Amino acid sequence: MSTSRALSYNFSKKIKNVLRSERALAYLFLLPTLIMIFAFVIIPAIWGLWVSFTPLSLVGKYAMKYDFIGLKNYIKLISDADFYNSIKISFIFTILSALIGQAFLGLMLALVMREKAIKGKSIVAITVFLAWIIPEVVAGYMWGVFASREGMMNTLLALLGMPPRNWLYDLPLETIIIANIWRGTAFSMILFMAALEGIPHYIYEAAEIDGASWWQRFRYIILPMMAYVILVDFILITIWTFNVFTMIFVMTGGGPGNATELWTIFVYRRAFQPPYEVGYASAAANLMFLIVFLIILSYIYVSKKLRWYG
């Protein structure tokens, strides 16, 4: 008895010694990562902050001119109707396509996927996943063609008696919202499916025996037990949708005019299309990043609770 205790004491001492001597070296393991992130993310971000205080452009009078002009770019932004337009479009896009479209459809799908008696549901799940995993550019190409005047969307809607239209010109914002619901619903569906699996079956059965209706079970069992998961889903898809660039850029390029110019496309167009006002575009990017950052902070706060609860 006493020998084994001495032995285990020796073991733990040995481990502690090894730990102490090699601890410093272990931090070296983190060094390459930190250098990479500093060099290619943090320093550029700081550079971008600096650029936003200059009149820098890629060509012309202000090419490579890093003169400090204070908050001029930011002041100009506040009175830029196009910037307001892009913020408005981003918010509408995010609220309708992510918070209402993806989350709601994802929850409905997850609930249906739970029903054992329903056949063919895995085929539906696979198509929903496919939309999510194919490269974003392919999704943009498909939707750009699908929603055009000659496209298949009109063929399908004709079955319901709707006249053909050029969706990307007549209802551009509505169309990109629908396209993004198509693209992103899978994530909410998977997350909700995992969460539903975590609810023990006996709770369900007990409620059923007590005569709880479908709605009551949903309202008083599923919804409260999934509250945190739903909240985390809301925050994540809000961030992702707010940051969407590629699919919409490929579909519409921000047009017609600026009808689908999300803030990311606004920044891209100002910086990389004539007159290449990178200083001004940086100011817009930084301002919008501030909004994204606040949402990320709320995510860090909420996800900690999820980790504890899940």
Q: By CB under 8 A, name the one of 83, 93, 167, 299 that touches another protein.
A: 299
Contact 173, 259 (CB under 8 A): yes
Distances (CA, A) of 88 to 7, 55, 159, 196, 261: 69, 26, 34, 35, 10
Binding residues among 52-81 for another protein as defined by CB under 8 A? 56
Long-range CB pairs of 300-305 (<8 Å, 24+ gap) are 302/228, 302/231, 302/232, 302/235, 303/232, 305/228
Instruction: Indicate the residue type of 298.
Output: S
Q: Is 232 in the site for another protein (CB under 8 A)?
A: yes
- Alpha helices, DSSP H only, in 1-118? 2-37, 43-51, 72-78, 81-93, 103-113
What radius of gyration do the chain's Cα atoms show? 26
Q: How far is it, in rounded angstroms, from Cα 303 to Cα 186?
A: 20
Q: By CB under 8 A, name the one of 191, 222, 226, 230 that touches another protein.
A: 191
Q: Is 246 in the site for another protein (CB under 8 A)?
A: yes
Q: Is 210 in the site for another protein (CB under 8 A)?
A: no
State the minimum distance, in angstroms, from the CB of residue 295 to another protein.
Answer: 8
Candidate segments 72-80, 109-117, 164-172, 219-227, binder of another protein by CB under 8 A:
109-117
Which CB, 19 or 227, lies closer to another protein?
Answer: 19
Q: Is 141 in the site for another protein (CB under 8 A)?
A: yes
Q: Is 145 in the site for another protein (CB under 8 A)?
A: yes
Q: How far is it, in rounded angstroms, from Cα 117 to Cα 287?
A: 51
Binding residues among 17-56 for another protein as defined by CB under 8 A? 18-19, 22-23, 26-27, 29-30, 32-34, 36-37, 39-41, 43-45, 47-48, 51, 56
Q: By CB under 8 A, name the one of 6, 71, 100, 194 that touches another protein.
A: 194
Q: Is 236 in the site for another protein (CB under 8 A)?
A: yes
Q: By CB under 8 A, name the one of 74, 76, 85, 129 that touches another protein.
A: 129
Residue 2 tokens read as: 């006493």
